[in-house]
Amino acid sequence: MKMTRTLAAVCTACLLMPAAGVTAQASMPDTPQQSAAVAAVGLDDPAKKEIAMKIVSSAENSSLDWRAQFKYIEDIDDGRGYTGGIIGFCSGTHDMLELVREYTKRKPGNVLAKYLPALERVDGSDSHEGLDPNYTKDWKTAAKDKVFQDAQEFERDRVYFNPAVNRAKQDGLRTLGQFAYYDAIVMHGDGGDATSFSSIRKRALAKAKPPAQGGDETAYLNAFLDARVWAMKQEEAHSDTSRVDTAQRVFLKNKNFDLNTPLSWKVYGDSFSIK
């Protein structure tokens, strides 16, 4: 699949760090009934999903305004060709091709439809053949179209968000764990290689059991984040692991399993907060 853009944002470093005094906490449920109530509100709750989108955007775009990223597109020299849109769809990793196909299904004859043959040819490479010189300009034109925006959100959810959240819920993880899965699948995709999301999860399972198997949630999430850091270090473009170290790990240390606000963090030295 892909990894997301390390983008123009790749010039800064990654995710979150709670500011002094922020100690959002969530206690562990004491009964099966409480557990069920907690499980009912996950990352797919609209308010929590909005938080997730902002956190990812802060790491990838140095901005909480994730909706402003529909128009984003550039080649960040990571071997994946063009990276664009709200989740870093890449011309070299198939998901950009699937996005333009979805857009064209919804709106035949759109400004990007003519690039489908070229996107099919460059899939799996970093080539721009058949895309230059006007593809990026036409992408930005398409980004003004609500149909294209909806297609981006649909593909984000179909390929990344829904599979990650569903898998995390099956593992008995609350909102923070669901976010950890989502952030991992966004960056690493879910292919068959050693650094894919499924392989990261497999490494974690070798070290600890998730709550659904009777394990401790904190221990399992630490194992998952350890595996994630290992995967990131396998690729130069992702070798800065602050996305985990000063973000998800800090939320975990604070026992903020439900990603409750207020949240404050630093990304690449820039400060962000959600009240």
Rounded Cα gap, residues 182 and 53, in angstroms: 10
Tokens 């040819």 found at: 121
Helix, strand or coil, per DSSP, at residue 100: helix
- Residue 30 is a catalytic residue: no
Do residues 7 and 61 make contact, with C-beta atoms less than 8 angstroms apart?
yes
Rounded Cα distance between 197 and 166, Å, is 13
Structure tokens at 91: 């011309």
Q: Alpha carbon of 6 to those of 68, 91, 114, 151: distances in Å?
A: 16, 15, 27, 22
Active-site annotation holder among 60, 98, 123, 155? 60
CA 69 to chain centre: 14
> Distance between CA atoms of 71 and 66, rounded to whole angstroms?
10
Query: Catalytic residue among 75, 78, 183, 217, which?
Result: 78
Terminal CA-CA length for the chain: 33
How is residue 120 written in tokens? 């099919």
Using DSSP, state whether 183 is helix, strand or coil.
helix
- Active-site residue 78, yes or no? yes
Residue 185's CB is within 10 A of a number of other CB atoms, namely 26
Residues classed as catalytic? 60, 78
